[in-house]
Amino acid sequence: MTVDKRALYTALPLVLALLVYVTLVAVPISPHKLLAQIPSVEYYVEGGKIYMRFEGVSKPIYFVGVNWFGFELTDYVVHGLWARNWEDMLRQIASLQFNAIRLPFCPPSVRPGTMPSTINYNYNPDLRGLDSVTIMEKIVQKASELGIFIIFDFHRIGCTEIEPLWYTDSFTEQDFINVWISVAQRFGKYPNVIGADIKNEPHSVSSPPNCYYDGRSATWGMNNSRTDWNLAVERIGNAILQVAPHWLIIVEGIQYTNPTSDNVPLYPTAVYWGENLRAVRHYPVNLPQHKLLYSPHTYGPDVYVMPYFNDPNIFPNNLHSIWNQNWGYIRRELGLPIYVGEFGGKYGHGGDSRDPIFQQKLIDYLIENDICWWTYWSWNANSGDTGGILRDDWINIWEDKYQNLNRSIQYCQSKYGIIKAPSYTVTPTTTTITTTSPTTTTTTVVTPTVTVVTVSVTDIVSVPLTLTFTTPITTTVTTTVPVTLIIPVMVTTTITTTSPVTTTTSPTTTATPTTTSPTTSAPGVRYSFTLNADSRVATVSGCIEFRVSGGSTTIGGVTVSPGSVLKICVNNDNALTWWIGTDGWLSANDLDASAVYVNGNQVLSNTKISLSGIQADLSTINSTLTITVTGTGQTSLTWNGQTVISGTDSRTLTISGVAPTTSKAMNLNIGTTTIYAEATATNYTLQ
């Protein structure tokens, strides 16, 4: 690429200044003091609007979009990639005129080397072997090409629950900051990244007044540096802005703030996690105001039935009084923009019948108050309490839910015109090199008139580091702690080592059986398979996935309740029986499961389980069952009279569908024993 002379002249003194600083002071460089590769874009707040300055031109923007979750869970990747291609998903988001995605994450997902699960590589072959953060970077880059803004959200520390504070007993505030620094350094170069949603939904572990003093609940305005969220945001936000000064710092509400601010007339304790911004009036966050964006989360009765939903004086026609009191006054009275980071519900597709009215009233409120910044929860089909924009097939959308949101999209477009995120070519980060012995890094700074190749390298070392510049200035700095060196965009880089280098490689993974989508949505399918326990004779493997609609149980410490998506995979040679009747009841007695997933999260592996009394709704979930049978010379398998397995053959039988239209009889003959199994399905294939 051709060097931008203005950028080169601006950055060259920075490089030389860094060299002089290292030469004269001879102390380790703090990683968060080093800037990310900053694109020619800035996001800022001014006059009640959010602006984007791109390549010297400023204009107000709206961003309206969706939350696409998964990186914050132990899958370490956005959900739905088991059902379709990731780029198709992004293109569909853009086609619906959403121009923003909020990406929740937890620390392992942004740490190089973490490998994702639940990806069907038949749909996503280009993701095979990639770690989670590289996949995240591909998503960000593709979103930029499609005009989609990205907001990063630190959603969970431990990837399993939403913690009340930004630290835990085993994860310090500095750990929290370090994660953000790594995210800002890696993704700050992408012009479509708006900013950092510092922490998802700080909340309380006790009720007022104890929550203000218990030392374990998030507070605001209590002058307690350990629990005051407003003070934490100042520390964390300043650290992020040192690395990515072009980003916005997004500050969510909490649950309970302080006794004074929470002394309000309407249902003072009836607030959702992340919703309460009452304390901003008297305790605003002390960050540069043009970089600050407040962000409430609010929900309806599908998530939790607040008492005001049962008050006819509030619901439905006076919901605005609740919103004004808890967060809307920031827009209406203080004149600041508000970004509603989460809201949503099932919109009448199950759940509380009042939810559609709630969502309609909220969109009315956003339009009436010129609030054109929001991300809906969620894009995903598998959000248990809200559902998603996508139906359970992960392809089609809930049209009525979308049309309600589209009222705001059309309003915002009429006010601002059609806004798309900026895009230009960025070299993605692809490899992290870790060394345990001395490494020499030679860096050549080119002159402004030379065309160079852009290279982005992050080299983390705990050994002597030599920087050689052709200015000509040469210095050697020896450090005893890790140093992170971000090479500016106009620098060409060569890395040489004099000893073995350890690189991160992708672990070998077991392929998930290929499944096919059901061809109908009628309820009811029946599978019953029994195989002999003699491991010398036959093996069975496969997965079946369904949505639980009645009954509940606990698997691996996780509650499987109505609405949960349960996936059971078998890869063993022990006796098993699955029975899913046309009435939707599942039983699996003494089932040796190689893996059990609840809502996409693996909760068990290589474990014997027993399920009974769980009602399975198979009308909207891909209920394909794949069975692989390997013969050992004594085994034969017939399917409706057709020989499938004979002798030592190995064949795969795929049965899919959800409509009990035909019955196919399967006889598994082990030696002289015939075992009968019946499957009612719309189609079947032999491979």
Give the Cα-Cα-Cα angle 61, 66, 69 (nearest 5 degrees).
135
pLDDT at 629 over 70: no
How do 491-497 and 49-54 pair as beta strands?
unpaired
How far are the Cα atoms of 306, 318, 325, 352, 637 from residue 310, in angstroms, in the given order?
8, 12, 18, 12, 60
Average per-residue pLDDT for the chain: 73
Q: How confident is the model at residue 570, as a pLDDT?
A: 58
Mean pLDDT confidence for 426-431: 66
pLDDT at 224 over 60: yes
Mean pLDDT confidence for 480-503: 26
Q: How confident is the model at residue 213, as a pLDDT?
A: 97
With beta carbons less than 8 A apart as the criterion, state whether 432 and 112 touch. yes
- CA atoms of 223 and 584, how far apart (whole Å): 55
Mention every residue, 6+ apart, whose C-beta is less than 8 A from residue 57. Answer: none
SS3 sequence of 87-124: HHHHHHHHHCCCCEEEEEECHHHHCCCCCCCCCCCCCC
Higher-confidence residue of 464 and 636: namely 636
Please give the share of the chain, as a percent, with pLDDT higher than 70. 59
Higher-confidence residue of 226 and 478: namely 226
* The CATH homologous superfamily of the domain defined by 41-416: Glycosidases (3.20.20.80)
DSSP E strands in 238-301: the ranges are: 248-252, 292-295
Beta-bridge mates of residue 681? 662
- CA atoms of 63 and 46, how far apart (whole Å): 16
Q: How confident is the model at residue 232, as a pLDDT?
A: 98
With H, G, I as helix, E, B as strand and everything else as coil, classify residue 615: strand
State the pLDDT confidence band at 447, using cuts at 50, 70 and 90.
very low
Q: How confident is the model at residue 38, as a pLDDT?
A: 72
Say how many C-beta atoms besides its own lie within 10 A of residue 323's C-beta. Answer: 23
Mean pLDDT confidence for 469-497: 26
* Catalytic residue positions, numbered: 201, 342
How do the domains of the chain map onto residue ranges? Answer: 5-31+431-503, 41-416, 526-686
Mention every residue, 6+ apart, whose C-beta is less than 8 A from residue 286. Answer: 230, 234
Mean pLDDT confidence for 667-680: 40
Q: What DSSP assignment string belongs to 319-370?
A: HHHHHIIIIIHHHHTS---B-B-B----TTSSS-TTHHHHHHHHHHHHHHTT
Give the Cα-Cα-Cα angle 557, 558, 564 (nearest 5 degrees).
160
How do 465-469 and 473-477 pair as beta strands?
antiparallel
pLDDT digits (tens, 9 = 90+) for 64-114: 999 999 999 999 999 999 999 999 999 999 999 999 999 999 999 999 999
Mean pLDDT confidence for 286-298: 98
Buried b (16+ CB within 10 A) or exposed e, 248-265: bbbbbbbbbbbeebbeee
pLDDT at 197 over 60: yes
Mean pLDDT confidence for 115-129: 96
Of 173-177, 410-414, 493-497, least confident by mean pLDDT is: 493-497
Q: How confident is the model at residue 657, as a pLDDT?
A: 42
Helix axis angle, 132-145 relative to 173-187, nearest 10°? Answer: 50
How far are the Cα atoms of 130, 148, 189, 427, 663 from residue 194, in angstroms, in the given order?
25, 10, 11, 19, 55
With beta carbons less than 8 A apart as the criterion, state whether 85 and 46 touch. no
pLDDT digits (tens, 9 = 90+) for 1-20: 433 333 333 343 343 343 33
pLDDT digits (tens, 9 = 90+) for 546-600: 566 556 667 766 777 776 776 666 554 333 333 333 333 344 444 556 667 777 7
C-alpha distance across the termini of the chain, in Å: 49
pLDDT at 633 over 90: no
Of 129-138, 372-381, 612-621, least confident by mean pLDDT is: 612-621
pLDDT digits (tens, 9 = 90+) for 30-67: 444 456 677 789 999 999 999 999 989 999 999 999 99
CA pseudo-torsion sign 134, 110, 381, 684: positive
Q: How confident is the model at residue 150, as a pLDDT?
A: 98
